[in-house]
Structure 1
Amino acid sequence: MHAVVPALLGAALVVTGCSVVGEDGGSDQPASDRVVLVTHDSFALPKQLVARFEEQSGYRLVVRGSGDAGTLTNKLVLTQDDPLGDVAFGVDNTFASRALDAGVFAPYDAALPDGADRYRLPGDDEHALTPVDNGNVCVNVDDTWFADHHLAAPTDLDDLADPAYKDLFVTPGAATSSPGMAFLLATIAAYGEDGWQDYWSRLMANGTELVDGWSQAYEVDFTQGGGKGDRPIVLSYDSSPAFTVSGGRSSTSALLDTCFRQVEYAGVLAGAENPTGAEALVDFLLTPEVQAALPDSMYVFPVDASVPLPRQWSRFARQPTDPLTVAPADISAHRDEWLREWSDVTSR
């Protein structure tokens, strides 16, 4: 889904201990002896957990990175008749309906840990997608920058279109980024189908910068991202402030009234060469060991309610009590229409 700390992002983008195979790569190993995982580029698990899966299952894990979650979904849909691997991880609730409608995944009703049932995708009656982690896409602010400039930080979506914050906000675009799509859906949830276009017109008139993906927005353009950026407002995650802590305080905050919940899923790909191995990997992602590792390795919240969070998370990674939501059926029905309208508004 996402990494939120520049110093840690490099590690997150390397799948430690896995055999990484690009789309043009290959393997002489028989398909029955390996499991090919197709995922987004921020997938990461500790080396010891990968080794544990390989020892317990008898399969070698091969990982094929496929860009952002949106790009991943598009590739899975385009290659559904000749799947890129056995199992996919990282399709989220903003894109999942498209993958289900296209028949990308095979049914697999995995046994869910405590509390995970609340994250099932509505409408997925065959249980083709298994919830693995969750988090919220939220606007984040650089509290230090606002204190230094003697300006009150914004608190909600309306503030982002206020002239007081002109040229201060950077966000990945909805057409190229999973968090960007989540932010578009947040504005649709907040302003309704008749009002979100006007909101985006005001947002763009206020100097909002659109970039392709989260890494560009946070790592390069955000003032706290380590890239000497000049934008103190960025679209990121509710977990982000847990990774900007120094001296017992976080220098950033997530605006909890702007948040849209994301759930990431794993699923067995229809037509997989090794569906048994794929099911084993889905099950492994739900084990307490993997669930406990998710915050530090992929910066997301586990779906297992019994797993304790790291100390910094309990203090600084606050989650919204009432995040903005759009029904998956509505996303499926209107996604293309909304994206066309969004593109029209943001290109004026």
Structure 2
Amino acid sequence: MNTISTRRGPAHKIGLGLVGGLSALALTACAGSTDTGAGDTSSAEASTVTLVTHDSFNVSEDVLAAFEKESGLTVKQVAPGDGGALVNQLILTKDAPLGDVVFGIDNSFATRAIDEGVLEPYTPAGLADTAAQYAVGDGELTPVDLGDVCVNVDHAWFTAAGIPEPVTLDDLTEPEYKDLLVVTNPATSSPGLSFLLATVGAYGEDGWEGYWSKLKDNGVKVADGWSDAYYVDFSGSEGKGPRPLVLSYSTSPAFTVTEDGTETTTGALLDTCFRQVEYTGVLAGAKNPEGAKKLVDFLVSDAFQADIADNMYMYPADADTELPEGWAEFAPLSPSPFEVAPADITAHRDEWIKAWTSTVIG
């Protein structure tokens, strides 16, 4: 059984009942394939649908089992990495797709995936109006969840050090916060790209590179992916790393609540956020396109939407879904996240990533 940790908060590991890693490719089936020389497709193969996702997809075993029983499908998983790595792999393998369905492309990479032709249009029936407002393209991507990417703070560390916690992006460049912040690389991490976009939204075309120069001078550390940043470098996670400031989500503090439920040991800086939306879609060239559509339907269903908050620490795209107790207090969305127009992301994403790499990595 494959067990995968989340990206949003402390270890909250639940078995997926899915086959992880690229070995799942061997189990991916052709549903009704007519390829010459392929041979007859067995019923077991025809009932397999492969989900390509980031390395922190999570779903309750009973919710997944109910879908598999009702649909007659067996869900297999391929997880090539963080959200940024996911899109890169989909593009590199589009002539021989890794699976049938993708989940985890976010709004910072969405147009890249669409423009590269890795997706087939499909709009599931019954998509909630609150989800439909986030749709992009011509039906290639369906919104599933959303959350705010924000800097998180370890309250206990700052209390012990006698240093006031930062509040704004500008604060993070001040000398008292030198060598305290770890972020993720926007070239390899979707949260990292979201945070880069937050700085573009905050400082504009003429100011964001200068801001990152200040962060670099102030000792910012860059990790390839969220898991390393949160579980290895962050002092407020189970790894008890050396840095009390980490790029994460506004929902992460809901999962560092004390046993008595009265407070949380970490917090999100809501003046540093960019809103991330995650999507699902049918992959072009899917071997089981009908099974793929059923899996997309499942990801926007009431059962899966109700499972998102506890397992992936994101807000369900269907705003009518009941949220866990305590989220209003410990996992609020930012009242005013920084924004960048989708057309500007499309036009400048690669340029911004290259400029960021030159400025921060050298």
Same fold (TM over 0.5): yes
Give the alignment partner of residue 193 of structure 2, picking from 170, 174, 181.
181
> Partner letter of residue 189 of structure 1?
G
- Residue 7 (1) aligns with residue 11 (2): yes
> Partner letter of residue 5 of structure 1?
G
1:37 deviates by 0.8
The superposition leaves residues 233-284 of structure 1 with CA deviations (integer Å, 9 ceiling, x where unpaired) of 1110010110111131011111111100111000001111111111111111
Runs (4+) off by over 3 Å = 28-31
> Partner letter of residue 26 of structure 2?
G
- Residue 97 (1) aligns with residue 132 (2): no
Equivalent residues of 1:242, 1:316 under 8 A apart: yes
Equivalent residues of 1:18, 1:50 under 8 A apart: no
1:290 deviates by 0.8
Equivalent residues of 1:21, 1:62 under 8 A apart: no
SS in 2 for 1:116: helix
What TM-score do the two structures reach when normalised by structure 1?
0.94
Equivalent residues of 2:10, 2:252 under 8 A apart: no
Equivalent residues of 1:32, 1:273 under 8 A apart: no
SS in 2 for 1:266: strand
SS in 2 for 1:235: strand
> Partner letter of residue 131 of structure 2?
A
1:25 deviates by 4.4
Give the alignment partner of residue 168 of structure 1, picking from 159, 180, 204.
180
For these two proteins, the number of residue pairs brought into alignment is 341
> Partner letter of residue 27 of structure 1?
L
- Name the CA distance, whole Å, in 2 between partners of 1:322 and 1:237: 15
Given the superposition, is the C-alpha separation of residues 305 and 24 from structure 1 closer, same or farther in structure 2, using an over 3 Å criterion? Answer: closer
SS in 2 for 1:145: helix
2:66 — aligned with what? 52
Instruction: For structure 2, list consecutive stretches of 5 or more residues without a partner in the other structure.
Output: 30-40
1:227 deviates by 1.4
1:91 deviates by 0.5
- Residue 280 (1) aligns with residue 294 (2): yes
- Residue 230 (1) aligns with residue 242 (2): yes
- Residue 71 (1) aligns with residue 107 (2): no
Alignment of 1:116-155 (within 5 A): 116-121=131-136, 124=137, 126-155=138-167
- Residue 333 (1) aligns with residue 337 (2): no
SS in 2 for 1:262: strand
- Name the CA distance, whole Å, in 2 between partners of 1:334 and 1:2: 30
- Residue 107 (1) aligns with residue 111 (2): no
- Residue 200 (1) aligns with residue 212 (2): yes
2:19 — aligned with what? 19
- Name the CA distance, whole Å, in 1 between partners of 2:340 and 2:6: 21
1:77 deviates by 0.9
What TM-score do the two structures reach when normalised by structure 2?
0.90
1:328 deviates by 2.2
Give the alignment partner of residue 221 of structure 2, picking from 209, 221, 228.
209
- Name the CA distance, whole Å, in 1 between partners of 2:60 and 2:185: 31
SS in 1 for 2:8: coil
2:33 — aligned with what? none
SS in 1 for 2:120: coil
The superposition leaves residues 178-228 of structure 1 with CA deviations (integer Å, 9 ceiling, x where unpaired) of 111111111011000111110000010011111111111111111111212
- Name the CA distance, whole Å, in 1 between partners of 2:302 and 2:128: 8
Equivalent residues of 1:17, 1:47 under 8 A apart: yes
- Name the CA distance, whole Å, in 1 between partners of 2:140 and 2:24: 27
- Residue 36 (1) aligns with residue 40 (2): no
- Name the CA distance, whole Å, in 2 between partners of 1:28 and 1:87: 11
1:264 — aligned with what? 278
1:2 deviates by 4.6
